[in-house]
Structure 1
Amino acid sequence: MLRQYELVERVKAYDPDADEDLLNRAYVFSVKAHGSQLRASGDPYFSHPIQVAGILTNLKLDDKTIACAILHDTIEDTVATHAEIKRLFGPEVARLVDGVTKLSKIETQTESERQAENLRKFLLAMSSDIRVLLVKLADRLHNMRTLHHIKREEKRRRIARETMDIYAPLAERIGMYGFMEEMQELAFRQLEPDASETIAQRLDRLRETTGANVHRISGAVEGLLRSKGIAASVTGREKRPYSIWRKMQAREMSFEQLSDVMAFRVIVDDVSDCYRALGIVHGRWPMVPGRFKDFISTPKNNGYRSLHTSVLLGSEAARIEVQIRTHLMHEEAEYGLAAHWAYKQGKDGAPAREAYPWIDDLLEVLQDAANPEELLENARLAMFQDQVFVFTPKGELHQLPGDSTPVDFAYAVHSDLGDSCVGAKVNGRVVPLRTRLINGDQVEIMKGKVKAPDPAWESFVASAKARAAIRRHVRHKRREELQAMGSKLLDAMAGRLQVALTDDILSPALGQLKLQDRPALELAMAENRLTDEEVSDALAPGAVVRAPRSRSTKAKAAAAISIEGLTPGVGFLLCDHCRPVPGDRIAGNRAPDGPICVHMIDCDLLVATGTDWLDVRWGAETAGAVARMAVVVHNQPGALASLAASIAANNANIVGLALKHRDREFHTDILDIEVESVAHLATIMAGLRQVKAVVSADRVRQ
C-alpha cells in the first residue's frame, strides 16, 4: 500500500502546483473513517481507496480527482456524510465523491433494480463530469485485481459479469484499452475458468517455441524500416487469453487454427511515417486481403487512431498482425481520455461530453427505459463494441453497432428523423428498412410527415437508441389506446347505471377504489384490474349492472376500400404479405405486367418489383380491411372461447383461423380479423393481452 508521503510525491512529480494539504487531509480522513474495517483479503479497508488513488496517479490526474479516489467509499461505507465531505474538502470534491458513491441505502425489490439504479445515478454524474468515470474505472479495476479473495463464487461471477458487460465497454468507449483488456482478462478468469486456464497453458508452450521468432520478426521489421529512413520501434506481443477465446468462439476455430496469435506494434514519429511504413511493409510481405483498416483517416468513436494490417511472413506464410501508430497515438490508445488530461488548464471534466457525444446518447436510452431489466439491456446495447462506418449523402461519417439497419442510422442522426422514417436508400438504391448496413454504405433516409415508428422495427434494429425510442413510442401508444378503451367502458357503465360522472359521483368512487383520478380508473378498467361489479358498486352502491346489448358485427372489410393517389378506375391489390389496414403508412408499386399493389411502407416486398414508389393514401370512404394476428394461448379448455369473446367484445369479426403450432403447454393461432383501422386493431390486441389464457398477441406478416 502507498504511504501518505509516497502518494503526495507521485502527484507532485507531474503536477508541482497540486494542493498537498488537500491530499494529506483526504488521506488522514479516509484512514480514520474506515478505521478497523477489513477487506475480504484481510487487508485494512483503507488500503483499497489508497490503491485506487495510486492507479490514477499513473494517469497523472489532478489533485481533486486523486482526493475523490481516496474518499470515494467514505459516504457509502462509513458514518461520513456528504455535507461533511463538502465542508472539509470543498464542493467539487464532494460532488465527485457523490457521483461515485453507490445508492447502497435505497430499498429496492430486486438485485437488478438496485444495480440499475446505481448505474443510472453513476452515469448521470459521469455526464456532468467525466472524472467520475475515471475514478469508477480505477475502483473497479482494483476490485477485480482482488476479486479472488471473495469466497462466494456466485458473488464473484456476478461482479465479473457486470465488469464484462458495463465497465470494460465503458473503458473502451473512452479509449482506455489498457484498463479494458485487464478488466476483461480478470473477469474471463471468473466466468470461464477452464477455458482461461487452457489457453494460458497453450500460450506458455507457444512462448517457449516462438520466443526467438518474436525477436527475430521485430528486428526484421525494424531493420527494414530503418533502411528506408524511418526511425521506428517495433515490439511483439501475444494476444490476451480472452481476446483469443472470443475469436475462437466467433469463428468456431480451435487454438491451433488461429494464425494471428502474435501481433506486432510499430511506433513512428509522425502520421506521414505511418503511411510510409505501411507501404514498405506491404511492399516487402504480401498483405492478407480484407485485413487492412485505417483508423487514422476514420478514427473510432473513442478517438482511437492506428493503421491495422496483416501480412504473410516467411516461407511458411505465417500470418502476423501489424499495428502502425505514432507515439501520441500509442499513448492515447493505452490511456484514452486520461492520456491528454489537461489539469494545468483547469478543465473540470464537462468538456469531455463534446468529444464523447455517445454519453448523451447513452443517457437518452437509459431515461427511456421502462424497468430495470430494460435499463441494463439498453446500457449493454449502447456500449456494443463492434462498429460499422456509414455516410450521409453529404459525406458525414456515422459509426453504428454491427448489424445496424437504416432505422438505426436514422435514429443515430436524430430522434425525430428516426420517428418519421418511411424508407431508405443505400448507395442510391431503395432498400427495405431491415437491410443490414456494411462499411462504406451511403444512407439516405426518406422522411414522412407523421412521427410514428413501426413497432415491428424493434425486431431488427441493433442500436440501443433506436430500440429505446421504438419501445417508448409503443408504450405511449398502448397507454393511449387503453385509455381510450377505458373511457368508452366507463361511459358505457355510467349509461347502464344511469348516473352522471360528476365530481360528486366520481370522488367517493375513486376513494373507494383507491385510485387517484378518472384516467387511473379508465386505465384500470381497460386492463381488467377492476371487475364490472366493483366499478358499479363504487359508482352506484346497490345498483344492478345491466349487460350491454350485443350488437351485430358489420362486415366492415367487405365494404369498398378507397385508395387516393391512383387514377380513378385503376385496379389495385392489397399486399397479401404485409396486409395493410387503414391507418398504416402505405405506398404503391406496380409489378411488371400486373396490377398496382399497395404495401405497408416497410414491407419487404415493396422493392421486389421495382424502385418507383407511388404516393398513395387511404381514402375517406375506406371502411376497413383484414389484418392478421398471431396469438399464443395456454393449451387449456375454454382458451379459444375466451379469445373469440374478447374479439367480439371489441366489435370485430374473425374471418380466418389456423392452428400454427401446438405443444403440451401452448398453441399459436393465426387469426384473420376484420378491422376498421390500425387503432381498432390496437384496441383488439390490447383487449386480447388482458385475457388470462392469452400469452401474447401480435400483428404478423405472411
Structure 2
Amino acid sequence: MIRQFELVDMVKAYDPDLDEMRLNRAYVFSMKAHGMQKRASGDPYFSHPLEVAGILTEMQLDCDTIVTALLHDTIEDTVATYEQIEELFGQDIAKMVDGVTKLSELEYTSESSKQAENFRKFLLAMSNDIRVLLVKLADRLHNMRTLHYIKKPEKRARISRETLDIYAPLAERIGMQELMNELEDLAFPHVYPEAHESIMKRLDYLYANTENVRDEVIRELEKIFAENFLDAEVIGRRKQPYSIWKKITYRNVSLENQADLFAFRVIVDDIEDCYKALGVVHKTWQAVPGLLKDYISMPKPNGYQSLHTVVIGPQRKRIEVQIRSTEMDIIAEKGVAAHWRYKNDASKKDGVHYRWLQDLLEIMEHAADPEEFLEHTKIAMYQNQVFCFTPKGELINLPAGATVVDFAYAVHTKVGDTCVGGKVNGEPAQLNRVLANGDQIEILRSNAQKPHKNWEQFVATGKAKAAIRRYTRQEQKKEYIALGEEILKHSFEQEEREYNKKAITSAAKKLNLKGGSGTVFEKVGSGEISDRKVLEIVFPSLKNKNETKGTGSIVVDTKRPHKAGDNQLPIKGLTPGLDVHISKCCHPLPGDRIVGIVAEGKGIMVHTIDCEALDVYTETPEDWLDLSWSPPEDSVDIFQGRVDMSLKHMTGAMASVLSLVAQDEANVSNIKINERSADVFRIELDLEVRDAKHLTDVITALRASKYVSSIERAFT
C-alpha cells in the first residue's frame, strides 16, 4: 500500500506547487473515515482509494483530482457528508466527490433502471468537470484489477459487462486508449469465458510462429527510416485479445487473416515527418488499397491523431503501421489526461468541448425513462466513424451506417426535425441514404416538415433516435388528449349531463393526477382510465346506478341483475351449481354458436365454436358442454363485443365513430390504439351490444363511414 509520503512525492515529481497540506489532510480523512472496513481481498478498504490516487498520479493529474480520488468513496461508504468535505476541502472537490459517488436516493424496479439513473447523474457531473470521469475510470480500473477476489461468478460477470458497456467506451471517447484496452481485457474472460480461452490458446500459437516476423519488420523499418534521414522510434506490440475478438465477431474476419496481430507504431518528431514516414513505408512495401486512414487531417472525436496504413511486408504478411508524432502518441494513450501535460492552462471543464458529451446530455434531457436513455447512450458511444462535411466545410463525425437524417440531427435537433431531404456531393438524396467517408451533405428543410416515426427504423445515432421518439411521444400525447376529450364529451351526452371542463379538473385532483384536465383526457384517450370512472367521480350518483351491473366482460342492466354462478345467463345446457364466465378471448354474443368448457376451479368458460383457445382442450372431450343462447324476447342484457378498425388520421374521425355507435344504440366501453402512422390508426374498440346481430349492424354502419378504412369483428 502506498505510504503517505510516497504519494506526496509522486505528485510533487510533476507538480512542484503541490498543496502538500491539503493532500495530507485528505489522506488522513479518508483513512479515518473508512476505518476498519475491508475489501473482498481482505485488505483495508482504504487501500482502494489510495490505489486509485496512484493510478491518477501516473496520468500526472492535478492535486484536486488526487484529493478527490482519496475521498471518492467517503460519502457513499462512510458516515462522512458532503457538507464536511465542502468545509474541509472546498466546493470544487466536494462537487467532484459527489459526482463520482454512485449513491441513489430513489428506489427502482430493476437493476437496469438503477444503473441507468446513476449513469445519468454521473454524466451531469462529468459535463461540468471532466476530472469526475477520470477519477471514476481509475476507480473502475482498480476494481477490475482486483475483481478476482469476488467469489460469485455472476457478480464478476455483471461488473465486467457494465465495464464493457459503459466504462471502456467512455475511456475510448476521451481518448484514453491504454486504459480502455486494460479495462476490456480484464472484463473479457468474465463476460465471454469460453471465447477468451479459445482466443488466448490460438493467439499463443500464432504469436509463437510469427515472433520472428515482428523482429524482422522492426529491423526493416528502422533501416529504411535511417536511410531516409528520419529520426523515428519503431515499436511492435501484440494487439489486445478483446479487440481481436471484436473483429472476429463483428467483422467476420478469421484470426489467421487479421493484419494486426501485431501493431507497429512509428513515432517521429512532427506532422511533416509523419507524412514523410508514410511515403517511405509505401515506397518500400505495397499498400493494401482502401486501408489508408488519415486521422491527422480528420481527427477522431476524442482528439486521436495518427496515420494508419496496411502493407504487404516481409514474408508476404499483411502488417498494420501507425505513424504519429510524440505528442500525438501521448494523447492517443492518455487522452484528455494528456492535456494537463501539454496545456498549462488546461481547463477543468474540457468536457464541455466534447460534442458527443453534449449529444448525450440532450438525449438524457428528453429520454422517457432511464432504460431508454441507457439504450441511446450505448448507441452514441459505440461508433465506428465516417467523416462528412457541411457545405461550409465543417467536419461532422457519424457512426458507420449513418444517414442523411442522422447528419441533420448532428447539425442541430431543429435541423433534423424539419429535414425533408438532402444533397450528397451535390446530388439529390433520400433521407435514408447511407453516408460514406468524405461526403459533403446539404440538408433541405421545410417548416411544415415533422419527424416521422418510421425514421427510427433507419437512423443510426442515439441522438436521432431519441429526438424522433420524443416527437412521437409528444404527438401521441396530443392525440390521446384530443381523443380523451371527445370520449368524455360523448359520455356526458350519453348520460344527459352537461359537459364541464372544471369538473374534469376536479376529477384529476381526486385521482391524484398532476396536469389537471389535460392529464385526465390523456389517460382516458390511452385507455389507462375509463370514461365511466371519470363520470362516477364527477357524478357519484352514477356509481350507485352502476353497482348492479355485472363484472368481467358482461354488463347487465339493473332490470335483470346477474351474479356469477346463478345461471341466470340466457344460455341452455349449463351445469347447475357451476359459475359461468363469458370468455374474454373471443367475446361470444347471443346469436353465436357457443360451447362451454368445464375448467377446474373456474366453473364453465363460454367460447365461440371457432375460438382458437379451444385447441388446448381437444384431448379432453369430457370437459366440453354443448350450449346455445336462449334470450327472452324482452331481454335487456348487454354484452361486450370487440372490433378491429383502421381509422383515417383526419380531424373529427373519432367523433364520427362515436356518433355512429351511439346512433345504433351501442356504447364504447374501451378504446385501444395498437398502431399509428401519419395516415391511419389501427384501433381496437370494445362495444356494449345486445347480440351478434346488433354488433354486425354497428360494423356495417361504421364500414360505410368515410373515415373508416376497414373494420372487422375481433375474436382475440
C-alpha deviation, 1:342, in angstroms:
5.8
* C-alpha distance 108-304 of structure 1, shift in aligned 2 (>3 A): same
**8 Å Cα contact 1:168-1:184 kept in structure 2:** yes
Q: CA deviation at 1:510?
A: 3.9
Tell me, in whole angstroms, the C-alpha distance in 2 between the residues paired with 1:233 and 1:509.
77
Q: Distance in 1 between matches of 2:686 and 2:99?
A: 42
1:239 aligns with 2:242: no
Aligned to 1:520: 519
Whether the 8 Å contact between 1:458 and 1:467 is mirrored in structure 2 is yes
More displaced 10-residue stretch of structure 1: 473-482 or 23-32: 23-32
Report the Cα offset of residue 154 of structure 1.
1.7
Equivalent residue, structure 2, for 1:218: 218
Q: How many residues align?
A: 579
Give, in angstroms, the shift of residue 89 of structure 1: 1.1
- 4+ long deviations beyond 6 Å: 634-640, 645-650
Q: Is the 8 A contact 1:528 1:690 kept in 2?
A: no
Q: Which residue of 2 aligns with 1:86?
A: 86
What is the CA-CA distance between 1:212 and the residue it aligns to? Answer: 3.1
1:504-534 CA distance string (max 9 Å, x none)? 7446544544444211221221122233432
Secondary structure of 1:399's partner? strand
Distance 1:501 1:67, change over 3 A: same
The Cα of 1:153 is off from its aligned counterpart by 1.7
SS at match of 1:14: coil
Q: Distance in 1 between matches of 2:7 and 2:451?
A: 55
Distance 1:251 1:346, change over 3 A: closer
The whole-number CA distance in structure 2 between the counterparts of 1:338 and 1:690 is 62
Q: 2:376 maps to what in 1?
A: 378
CA distance in 1, matches of 2:348, 2:479: 44
Please provide the CA RMSD for this pair.
2.8
Give the corresponding residue for 1:323: 322
Distance in 2, matches of 1:188 and 1:374, equals 26
Provide the C-alpha distance between the structure 1 equivalents of 2:437 and 2:504, rounded to a whole number of angstroms. 60
Q: 1:513 to 1:362 in 2, by over 3 A?
A: closer
For 1:413, the aligned partner's letter is V
> Offset of 1:401 from its aligned partner?
0.8
**In structure 2, distance between residues paired with 1:374 and 1:391:** 30
1:186 aligns with 2:186: yes
Which AA in structure 2 matches 1:535? V
CA distance in 1, matches of 2:47, 2:73: 11
Decide whether aligned partners of structure 1 residues 257 and 114 sit closer, same or farther in structure 2, where only a CA change above 3 A counts.
same
Q: Distance in 2 between matches of 1:507 and 1:234?
A: 75
Could you tell me whether the CA contact under 8 Å between 1:76 and 1:104 is conserved in 2?
Answer: no
Q: How does 1:46-65 map to 2 (within 5 A)?
A: 46-65=46-65
Task: From the superposition, tell whether residues 507 and 466 of structure 1 become closer, same or farther in structure 2 (CA, over 3 Å).
Answer: closer
Deviations 1:249-304 (A, max 9, x none): 13334323334311211111111111111111101110111111111111111110
Task: Report what 1:550 is aligned to.
Answer: none
Shift of 1:166: 1.1
Q: Distance in 1 between matches of 2:140 and 2:3?
A: 21
Aligned partner of 2:643 in structure 1 is: 642
**Structure 2 unaligned residues grouped into runs of 5+:** 547-610, 615-638, 659-673, 688-708, 710-716
**Does 2:33 align with 1:7?**
no
Whole-angstrom distance in 1 between the partners of 2:301 and 2:55: 25
Instruction: Compute the TM-score of the two structures, normalised by the length of structure 2.
Output: 0.77
Contact 2:185 2:242 in 1 (8 A): yes
CA distance in 1, matches of 2:646, 2:373: 36
User: Is the 2:486–2:654 Cα contact (8 Å) retained in structure 1?
Assistant: no
Paired position in structure 1 for 2:468: 470
Opposite residue 114 of structure 1, the aligned amino acid is K
8 Å contact kept, 2:422–2:430: yes
Q: Partners of 2:393 and 2:342 in 1: how far apart? A: 35
Structure 2 counterpart SS, 1:170: helix
Q: Is the 8 A contact 2:643 2:685 kept in 1?
A: no
CA distance in 2, matches of 1:126, 1:79: 24
- Residues 588-645 of structure 1, C-alpha deviations (whole Å, 9 max, x = no match): xxxxxxxxxxxxxxxxxxxxxxxxxxxxxxxxxxxxxxxxxxxxxx976999943249
Give 1:597's aligned residue. none
2:437 matches 1:439: yes
Partner amino acid for 2:172? E
Q: Is the 8 A contact 1:310 1:321 kept in 2?
A: yes
**Is the 2:640–2:686 Cα contact (8 Å) retained in structure 1?**
no
- In 2: Cα distance, 1:538 partner to 1:639 partner: 23
3-state secondary structure, aligned to 2:322: strand
Letter of the 1:403 counterpart: G
Percent identity reads: 51
Where do residues 133-148 of structure 1 align in structure 2 (5 Å cutoff)? 133-148=133-148
Match of 2:357 among 356, 359, 379: 359
Compared CA separation, residues 688 and 430, structure 1 to 2 (3 A): farther
Cα contact 1:61–1:343 (8 A) shared by 2: no
Judging changes above 3 Å, is the alpha-carbon distance between structure 1 residues 400 and 504 closer, same or farther for their aligned structure 2 residues? Answer: closer
Partner of 1:156: 156
- How far 1:31 sits from its partner (Å)? 0.9
C-alpha deviation, 1:213, in angstroms? 2.8
Distance 1:42 1:203 in 2: 34
Residues 541 and 181 of structure 1: CA distance in aligned 2, closer, same or farther (over 3 Å): same
Provide closer, same or farther for how the CA distance between residues 640 and 217 of structure 1 changes in structure 2, counting only shifts above 3 A.
Answer: farther
Deviation at 1:422? 0.6
1:630 aligns with none
Q: CA deviation at 1:50?
A: 0.4
Distance (Å, rounded) in 2 between the aligned partners of 1:54 and 1:188: 24
Q: Report the secondary structure of 1:449's partner residue.
A: coil
Say if 1:408 and 1:636 are closer, same or farther in 2 by CA, change over 3 A. Answer: farther
**Displacement, 1:122?**
0.4
Q: For 1:189 and 1:337, locate their aligned partners in 2 and report how far apart those are by CA, in whole Å.
A: 28
Cα distance in 2, alignment partners of residues 361 and 330 from structure 1: 27
Per-residue CA deviations over 1:175-205 (Å, capped at 9, x if unaligned) read 1100111111111111111221222223323
Gaps of 5+ in 1: 546-633, 654-669, 692-698
Q: Rate the CA distance shift 1:253–1:505 in 2: closer, same or farther, 3 A.
A: closer
In structure 1, the residue corresponding to 2:287 is in which secondary structure? coil
**Change beyond 3 A, Cα 1:443–1:497:** same
Alpha-carbon distance between aligned partners in 2 of 1:519 and 1:128, rounded to the nearest angstrom: 36
Partners of 1:499 and 1:639 in 2: how far apart? Answer: 24
Provide the secondary structure at the position in 1 that maps to 2:217. Answer: helix
1:558-573 matched pairs, under 5 angstroms: none
State the alpha-carbon separation in 1 of the partners of residues 358 and 531 from structure 2: 46
Q: Could you say which residue in structure 2 is the equivalent of 1:292?
A: 292
Distance 2:502 2:105 in 1: 43
Within 5 A, what are the aligned runs for 1:466-545? Answer: 466-502=464-500, 505-506=503-504, 509-516=507-514, 517-543=516-542
Structure showing greater Rg: 2
Aligned to 2:617: none
1:547-577 Cα distance to aligned partner (Å, 9 max, x none)? xxxxxxxxxxxxxxxxxxxxxxxxxxxxxxx
**Residue aligning to 2:583:** none
CA shift in 2, pair 1:304/1:640, >3 Å: farther
Residues 491 and 154 (structure 1), Cα distance of their counterparts in 2 relative to 1, 3 Å cut: same
Q: How does 1:271-282 map to 2 (within 5 A)?
A: 271-282=271-282
Single out whichever of 116-125 and 150-159 deviates more from structure 2. 150-159
Q: How far is the alpha carbon of 1:97 from its aligned partner? A: 0.3
CA distance in 2 between counterparts of 1:29 and 1:247 reads 46
The alpha-carbon distance between structure 1 residues 280 and 525, as it changes in their structure 2 partners (threshold 3 A), is same
Provide TM-score, normalisation by structure 1.
0.78
Contact 1:389–1:441, Cα closer than 8 Å, also in 2: yes
* Amino acid in the other structure paired with 1:443: I
1:535 Cα deviation after fit: 2.4
Post-superposition offset of 1:539: 2.3
Q: C-alpha separation between the residues in 2 aligned to 1:226 and 1:635?
A: 81
Amino acid at match of 2:205: R
Residues 641, 686 of structure 2: 8 Å contact kept: no
What is the Cα deviation at residue 450 of structure 1? 2.2
Kindly indicate whether the alpha-carbon contact (under 8 Å) linking 2:128 and 2:351 is maintained by their aligned counterparts in 1: no
Alignment partners' CA distance in 1, 2:169 and 2:685: 37
SS in structure 2 at match of 1:542: helix
Distance in 1 (CA, whole Å) between partners of 2:207 and 2:143 is 29
